[in-house]
């Protein structure tokens, strides 16, 4: 009887995940292309200790014929009990040039259960998204908000398997260096970890798309991570993406936690 009780207790303890302290935080970024401001973005993180919500709002100023002015709103929700965020839903709405584009994706156990794109994207020259591509994946936003115990090279030791509702791709991160953010013009001064990212398109992209091919073959993608206060989260401090039109840079200007 005692052995049975102990076994039952061990099973309960093994299956029970400890709920973390709630988190209510935000981060604001400025995006530049070739040194010219093109967008402002705010990210709000609400974590109850077991479930999270990420809200992203971006206002794009535009840059001639290169970047259209408009707005983007993203909401990602999921489970935060484990060591990584597990997506359960992802919704995107963009408005530009009087047109609206919507994406809704549902996840369960890191598998896509549903997705809808309005208006639908064309299939000509597009690599088909196969059912096998929709397992073991998460959304694009949640993948970049990390949980961990220490700001060290282990932050970069991960593969992100992403499905956006349109495209499926992998992002392989690797450690580059540790550094210190010192600029008073940014929203954080302190230690950061620099990771490099390799982009691997899987499906949903257009084979002749210049941007996709450039990202896969030539572009450098760098991301610096910083601690989000004492929350146990790590978020991007800076992102640098090389493009054929110049560097696309995203830098933190304010953080609250």
Per-residue model confidence as pLDDT tens digits over 139-156: 999 999 999 888 999 999
State the pTM of this model. 0.88
Residue 1 within a domain: no
Higher pLDDT, 83 or 55: 55
* Cα dihedral sign, 14-16-22-26: positive
CA–CA gap between residue 153 and residue 85 (Å, rounded): 19
Residue 6 within a domain: no
Round the average pLDDT of the chain to a whole number and report it.
89
pLDDT at 62: 67
Over range 20-36, report the average pLDDT: 91
CA–CA gap between residue 167 and residue 107 (Å, rounded): 15
Residue 7 within a domain: no
Taking CA atoms, 234 is separated from 79, 139, 191, 227, in Å, by 17, 17, 11, 4
- E strand or H helix at 159: strand 158-163
Residue 187 within a domain: yes
Residue 14 within a domain: no
Question: By residue range, what is the domain housing residue 34?
Answer: 21-256
Higher pLDDT, 2 or 118: 118
Residue 39 within a domain: yes
Neighbouring residues of 120: CB distance < 8 A, sequence distance ≥ 6: none
Number of domains in the chain: 1
Would the pLDDT of 18 be above 80? Answer: no
* Cα dihedral sign, 224-168-100-98: positive
């Amino acid at each position: 009887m005692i052995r049975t009780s102990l076994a039952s207790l061990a099973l309960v303890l093994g299956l029970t995940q400890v709920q973390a302290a709630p988190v209510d935080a935000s981060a604001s970024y400025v995006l530049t292309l070739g040194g010219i401001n093109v967008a402002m973005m705010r990210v709000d993180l609400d974590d109850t200790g077991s479930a999270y919500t990420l809200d992203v709002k971006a206002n794009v100023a535009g840059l001639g014929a290169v970047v259209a002015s408009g707005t983007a709103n993203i909401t990602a929700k999921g489970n935060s009990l484990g060591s990584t965020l597990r997506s359960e839903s992802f919704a995107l709405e963009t408005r530009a040039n009087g047109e609206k584009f919507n994406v809704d994706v549902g996840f369960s156990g890191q598998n896509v259960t549903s997705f809808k794109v309005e208006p639908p994207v064309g299939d000509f020259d597009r690599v088909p998204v196969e059912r096998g591509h929709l397992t073991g994946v998460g959304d694009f936003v949640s993948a970049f908000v990390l949980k961990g115990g220490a700001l060290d090279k282990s932050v970069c030791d991960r593969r992100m398997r992403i499905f956006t509702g349109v495209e499926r791709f992998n992002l392989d991160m690797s450690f580059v260096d540790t550094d210190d953010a010192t600029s008073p013009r940014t929203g954080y001064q302190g230690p950061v970890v620099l990771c490099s990212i390799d982009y691997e398109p899987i499906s949903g992209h257009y084979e002749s798309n210049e941007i996709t091919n450039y990202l896969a073959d030539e572009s450098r993608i760098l991301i610096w991570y910083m601690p989000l206060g004492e929350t146990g989260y790590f978020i991007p401090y800076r992102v640098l993406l090389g493009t054929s039109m110049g560097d696309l840079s995203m830098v933190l200007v304010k953080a609250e936690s």
